[in-house]
Amino acid sequence: MGNRIVEGLSALTKTSEEIANDIYMLDFRVVNAFLIGEPNSNSGEWVLIDTGLENSGEFIKNEASKRFGEESRPKAIVLTHGHFDHVGSVKELAEYWDVPVYAHSLEIPYITGKKDYPVGDPAADEGLVAKMSPGFPHTRIDIGFRAVQLPEDGSIPGMPGWIWVHTPGHTEGHIALFRERDGMLIAGDALSNVKQESLWAVLTQKKKISGPPKYLTSDWRRAEESVCRLKDLDPCMILPSHGRPMKGDEAEKHLKYLAEHFNEIAKPAEQ
Ligand SMILES: [Zn+2]
Ligand SMILES: [Zn+2]
């Protein structure tokens, strides 16, 4: 992409954190990705959720080798949606591992060179990230034949026990991933736990329940419905793409508050 803003963000410190025995969070400071699967099981049954920014590929490969073994490769890559901070390294990694990339059918055109997202809206918020957002990449990428539609029955290849939930609004084909057994919710950008519009808040990862990143969200009515759908799942732990995990009472309280006060918390003033 060669975008200077993205290059700057890509250079931020990367860390990783075990959330559960089979959930590992890769934290690129501005966005998270997840490795799902039991470490060193030698089953090859693991999946990468989202791929961070461009230049995140090496870090992801190294973390995956450490966790699943040198020669290990995932069953698949799954995308919550196709925004640049989630697909930055998808082409490189899908080719390197030679694996399919699953996404919702409505998201496939954006990763197969057919459709562009709207440009970021700097008026959506006063924060610096919102002001920078028109400079973010919004045009299509093309991963060709590796892009595969998620199964219609809600299952996720390589992730037994998990389902995908269509949560449109932030993008048309946005999905969240949910495991009923322990109430784990990978929320993507359907909601955040940081004020993603503010660079200061992002760099310090100051916790704050928020809606989807404002500057890139296209349909606010659907975004609100999606938050309500996630609340109805009654998750025990929320893992957002932006911000820190929330669990237990905190997760329940914050999600309920966001769903009930969506207009004042999440929506840009002029919407
Ligand atoms: Zn997004
Ligand atoms: Zn995002």
**Per-chain residues with Cβ under 5 A from ion ligand 2:** 85, 189, 241
Query: Is 49 within the bounds of a domain?
Result: yes
Q: Give the span between the Cα atoms of 197 and 244, in whole angstroms.
A: 15
Query: Is 169 within the bounds of a domain?
Result: yes
Which listed ligand is nearest to 31 at the C-alpha? 2
Which listed ligand is nearest to 117 at the C-alpha? 1
Ligand 2 mean position, distance from CA 144 (Å): 22
Ligand 1 mean position, distance from CA 213 (Å): 7
**Per-chain residues with Cβ under 5 A from ion ligand 1:** 83, 189
Ligand 2 mean position, distance from CA 90 (Å): 14
Q: Give the span between the Cα atoms of 230 and 269, in whole angstroms.
A: 24
Ligand 1 mean position, distance from CA 42 (Å): 33
Coil, helix or strand for 165?
strand
Ligand 1 mean position, distance from CA 134 (Å): 14
b vs e for 148-185, b when ≥16 Cβ sit within 10 Å of the residue's Cβ? bebeeeeebebbeebbbbbbbbbbbbbbbbbbeeebbb
Ligand 1 mean position, distance from CA 219 (Å): 12
pLDDT for res 42:
61
Closest CA to 234 of 259, 212, 213, 211: 259
CATH number of the domain that residue 90 is part of: 3.60.15.10
CB distance 7 to 55 below 8 Å: yes
Ligand 1 mean position, distance from CA 70 (Å): 31
Ligand 1 mean position, distance from CA 37 (Å): 24
Ligand 2 mean position, distance from CA 32 (Å): 9
Ligand 2 mean position, distance from CA 219 (Å): 15
Domain residues for the domain of 141 are: 4-265
Ligand 1 mean position, distance from CA 63 (Å): 23
Domain count, the chain: 1
Ligand 1 mean position, distance from CA 175 (Å): 11
Low pLDDT (below 50) residues in the chain: 1
Query: Is 271 within the bounds of a domain?
Result: no
Q: Give the span between the Cα atoms of 105 and 92, in whole angstroms.
A: 22
The secondary structure element, H or E, covering residue 26 is strand 23-27
Query: Is 46 within the bounds of a domain?
Result: yes
Query: Is 257 within the bounds of a domain?
Result: yes
User: What predicted TM-score, i.e. pTM, was given to this entire model?
Assistant: 0.95
pLDDT for res 215:
87
Ligand 2 mean position, distance from CA 215 (Å): 10
Query: Is 136 within the bounds of a domain?
Result: yes
pLDDT for res 271:
56
pLDDT for res 1:
44
Query: Is 270 within the bounds of a domain?
Result: no
CB distance 48 to 79 below 8 Å: no
Closest CA to 22 of 8, 4, 5, 35: 35
Q: Give the span between the Cα atoms of 238 and 252, in whole angstroms.
A: 9
